[in-house]
Structure 1
């Protein structure tokens, strides 16, 4: 009897055919949703790009002037734009980093707990189910000088007193905004990490434990490397969402004490000052920045999706 052994080239060809077939199936499945999204979003995007080329204010519609890239030059040479961008980047970096750590702890708890698992998972996910505006109002009340409980509960900490005005200076206000954002969106991060944690083979963890690996060694050498794809998705989604932060700032400070974000600056230009040209240019720059951010995150993690699927 003759035994046929598949060569590495044959195995690669079979894997390649399977990947091509899965890609085609995936394209067919997402095509309807992509078409609907393009129909809904294409026109506003084209309109924003078109308006960004004009000096156009809604209160004087007849005074519309084509300036080509003039609005972009005005924005990129304005110190306020860069200051708001720095605020946005800072909020994104701090909140995503803290959420990644706390979310992973929550994911580990939800994955390992046996008793009352459903109650535990529901309790952790409650903040994410609350409307952002409602949670922002709640945290504004929490940090309030007259009615909030933060000052009375944490007056024993250095820098906090009964009369601490959290919204009276830049850094305390930024801290309050970040806390509200972290509390609201950490459950989302933990949910994504829980999905990745469930894909880690228990046999690999047990084998490492048998070989004498400590808990930290199992975490760094086995669990986290096998969760790289899930971590990338979690960081990507949260970073893009955090970079567009608006609700918390609008409710808690309305941009006072130099707490404006890029999205809030766009809102002020369009809604408050009726500058459709500048506002459209800001929205285009924000869109391009989000695309660049997504590209950098994907490149940073260098995740091989085919390998992550076990191919």
Structure 2
């Protein structure tokens, strides 16, 4: 008994598979990229299980004879009265609060630029684009002089306030709101008597969800990895974020070799929030990619 042949529409092209050599090349390139990005993480995991002597005296990509990851990570958290835990909490504060505020501000500004015509709108958007092109390191010293004049240097506000401004977030939200929020839907809501604030909170934010997730994650990672701004603004080690704190440990490692081990363990702990955040939020990106699809 032979199966019935699949019916196809007249003139329809039959699905074809890529040649084997093309699939091999693509697979090899993807495998190379995976190794390139995952090898440093693997080295960090392996090195966090070693003491300072094994860190320099054993093969970097394999475990030592007596790995003790829990003990060494506990030593990192308890060293110098738990200063690393303080730095970690500071980073969560800077990145979490800064990313949430930056996302809300970017959403409001991008939505307004996309949906409310007013005089000078394109000029304002041009200034936002100019802000995207200016590197953040170029603004660190002017910000320090400004915050010093205001008496806010060496405070939490000195790092938090600059972190809530994201020109890239405003740009992305403006582009996404123009494409994903239909004007007809807004007009229907206005006819039903909804105010602009309610329309923005009930419709705009929901339709802009994938863009907001992107802005939040980008800003969180940017603030978490930011080194130069806290270096310029802060002099109290109790206010340091993780990145700046680990750098100070490296500076003293020549006199205290155990700090090499603590720095590696602290670096491993510092990447965990980013990995968790990426894993949790990636499903919103997948949802956003398929929102505009239609069945042929």
If the length of structure 2 is used for normalisation, what is the TM-score? 0.73
Native 8 Å contact 2:99 2:217 kept in 1: no
Q: Which of 265, 280, 283 is the aligned partner of 1:281?
A: 265
Matches within 5 A, 1:287-298: 287-297=271-281
Deviations 1:206-237 (A, max 9, x none): 12222332222322332222112221222122
Matches within 5 A, 1:1-311: 35=31, 37-56=33-52, 67-69=67-69, 70-78=71-79, 79-111=82-114, 112-113=116-117, 115-144=119-148, 148=149, 150=150, 164=151, 166-167=152-153, 173-183=155-165, 186-198=166-178, 199-254=180-235, 256-273=236-253, 275-297=259-281, 304-305=287-288, 308-311=291-294
Native 8 Å contact 1:99 1:182 kept in 2: yes
Q: Secondary structure at the match of 2:153?
A: coil
Structure 2 counterpart of 1:17:
none
Name the CA distance, whole Å, in 1 between partners of 2:248 and 2:292: 45
Name the CA distance, whole Å, in 2 between partners of 1:57 and 1:259: 31
Name the CA distance, whole Å, in 2 between partners of 1:133 and 1:119: 25
Q: Secondary structure at the match of 2:98?
A: helix
How many residue pairs match? The answer is: 258
Name the CA distance, whole Å, in 2 between partners of 1:33 and 1:251: 41
Deviations 1:74-121 (A, max 9, x none): 123442121111111111222122212321232134213464544321
Structure 1 residue 261 displacement after superposition: 0.9
Distance change in 2, residues 1:62/1:214 (3 Å): closer
Gaps of 5+ in 1: 1-26, 151-163
Distance change in 2, residues 1:225/1:61 (3 Å): closer
Deviations 1:223-281 (A, max 9, x none): 22211222122212222332333221122225x25111112222223354253322222
Structure 1 residue 140 displacement after superposition: 0.9
User: Which one is further off, 208-217 or 270-279?
Assistant: 270-279
Name the CA distance, whole Å, in 2 between partners of 1:206 and 1:303: 29
Structure 1 residue 33 displacement after superposition: 7.9
In angstroms, what is the RMSD of aligned CA positions? Answer: 3.4
Distance change in 2, residues 1:46/1:217 (3 Å): closer
Native 8 Å contact 2:137 2:228 kept in 1: yes
Native 8 Å contact 2:90 2:239 kept in 1: yes
Name the CA distance, whole Å, in 2 between partners of 1:277 and 1:123: 46
Structure 1 counterpart of 2:4:
none
Name the CA distance, whole Å, in 2 between partners of 1:284 and 1:210: 54
Native 8 Å contact 1:55 1:71 kept in 2: yes
Native 8 Å contact 2:107 2:212 kept in 1: no
Name the CA distance, whole Å, in 2 between partners of 1:33 and 1:108: 39
Structure 1 residue 181 displacement after superposition: 2.4
Distance change in 2, residues 1:222/1:33 (3 Å): farther
Gaps of 5+ in 2: 1-22
Name the CA distance, whole Å, in 2 between partners of 1:103 and 1:239: 14
